[in-house]
Amino acid sequence: MARSREFDTEAAVSRAMELFWRRGYEATSVRDLTGYLGIGQGSLYAAFGDKDGLYRAALEHYRNTLAAAALRSLEEGAGARSAIRAMLVERVRIAVEDNGRGCLVVNAACERLPEDAATRRIVGDMQDASRDALAEVLRVAAERGEVARRRDPYALAAFLVTFLNGLLVSAKITPDVRALEPLVEVALAALD
């Protein structure tokens, strides 16, 4: 008779996300994970397959919580410029927490993409979703006259995603919102 799982997998994934985000994939051992999650190694393997499986689950959790919330706030914003500014500044604020933990997705891109095709796919999907959501916001904003029509919304959205990725790496180096926030204003000048 198979034993039933004795832990909340969703809570375990959320906590694993925190640990991976703070320490990175390579610096987080299975022993670290089992200790932090309060589960046995056998339970971890039974639920997630291996450390890679738990890491991918943590990335998916990040996508479904923090990344999804950022996209929702962008889509719900009153004016495009203020919504984009708020989204960029909020992402920086989150990235500077815990002495510059950065962004889990950008961290994954920097640390794991050459070795892990599954992580590459998850990260690529999140980047595409961000770019596509921004492009739609910018397309509508251009129709309303809120931003200049001279730039392609898709290219402008791709620029903003690329800028944000760099900004989130910078948040690891300089975990200071006051130092990074003025850069957001420079990027928003591309909307003029």
Contact 7, 39 (CB under 8 A): yes
Question: What's the Rg (C-alpha) of the chain?
Answer: 19
Residue 116: per-residue pLDDT:
84
Please name the fold of domain 52-191: Tetracycline Repressor; domain 2 (1.10.357)
d(CA 176, CA 143): 36
Q: Which amino acid is at 182?
A: P
Q: Each residue of 76-92: pLDDT tens digit?
A: 767 889 999 999 999 99
Q: Can you spell out the DSSP letters for 76-108? A: H-SSHHHHHHHHHHHHHHHHHHHHH---HHHHH
Contact 134, 84 (CB under 8 A): yes
> Residue ranges of the chain with pLDDT lower than 70?
1-5, 77
Residue 1: per-residue pLDDT:
42
Residue 77: per-residue pLDDT:
65
* Cα dihedral across residues 100, 103, 62, 18: positive or negative: negative
Cβ-based burial of 97 (10 A; exposed 0-12, middle 13-18, buried ≥19): middle
Residue 5: per-residue pLDDT:
55
| pTM: predicted TM-score of the whole model, two decimal places | 0.88
